[in-house]
Amino acid sequence: MLFGYHWVLDQGDLAYAWSILPILLHGLVVTIEATILGFVIAAILGLIFAVLRGAPARVVYMPTAVVIEFIRDTPLLIQLYFLYYVLPNYGLILPAFLTGAIALGIQYSAYTSEVYRAGLQAVPKGQHEAARALNLDNRRTFIDIILPQAVPRVIPALGNYLVSIMKDVPILSVVTVLEMLNVAKIIGDRTFQYLVPLTMVGALYLIMTLVASSLVRYLDTRLPKSGVRLQ
């Protein structure tokens, strides 16, 4: 029994599957929560990284670039272990879920910072030049001219990373976060019937990914290619 639900083992696979579905859905909720929190952290941290990376001063952008590369090229699992076991040494005792979300956020901030950078760079140089010719100041240029044109490229790319984050959430199971895969594994550990729970998790993931990807694709079509329309 888990989360107050009993599983049914002696009436065949279908009954078993049906009986553990509510349990898995509990895990699913945790998965979704971790995905969203991880994504928010990644989006914000990535923005900070992107700004630092784009700074003119060498003493700012060089170390930032190295840090981003380091985060990008090392496994999420190790980064997670690091945070989980090292932070308490410095008096920071966070719930496992939070640690997991932060680890996700840090790992993916390396990717989101690149999304921001690429999105901004894709805006044609001519736009900057036209703005300068019209004597717009830097702030106005950025907010009214550059940013709206960068957004249509940035949003779908971020959306794709949201889906990637969701697929990485199971790694949080190693620090006891009760996301979907962990729940399935616990059921399997106790019943020795791994096939049904793990297959269900796979199927649920597939459904979620397809739904999320379709949403991202829909968003992509709804955003005008030439930039967010300003009134």
CB of 76 to another protein, least distance (A): 7
CB of 57 to another protein, least distance (A): 25
The answer to whether 91 and 188 are in contact (CB under 8 A) is: no
Site for another protein in 43-82 (CB under 8 A): 70, 73-79, 81-82
Site for another protein in 135-194 (CB under 8 A): 166-171, 173-174, 181, 185, 188, 193-194
What span, in angstroms and rounded, lies between the C-alpha atoms of 23 and 188?
Answer: 12
Q: Is 138 exposed, middle or buried (0-12, 13-18, 19+ CB in 10 A)?
A: exposed
- For residue 54, count other CB atoms closer than 10 A to its CB: 15
CB of 127 to another protein, least distance (A): 27
Query: Residue 103: phi, psi to the nearest 5?
Result: -60, -45
Total residues contacting another protein (rule CB under 8 A)?
36
CB of 166 to another protein, least distance (A): 8
What span, in angstroms and rounded, lies between the C-alpha atoms of 37 and 46?
Answer: 14
Residue 209 in contact with another protein, rule: CB under 8 A: yes
What span, in angstroms and rounded, lies between the C-alpha atoms of 191 and 229?
Answer: 56
- Of positions 20, 50, 103, 201, contacts another protein by CB under 8 A: 201
CB of 89 to another protein, least distance (A): 7
CA dihedral (73, 98, 185, 2) in degrees, to 10, reads -170
Q: Which is nearer to another protein, 35 or 149 (CB)?
A: 35
- DSSP 8-class letter at 137: -
Contact set with another protein (CB under 8 A): 70, 73-79, 81-82, 85-86, 89, 166-171, 173-174, 181, 185, 188, 193-195, 198-199, 201-202, 205-206, 209-210, 213
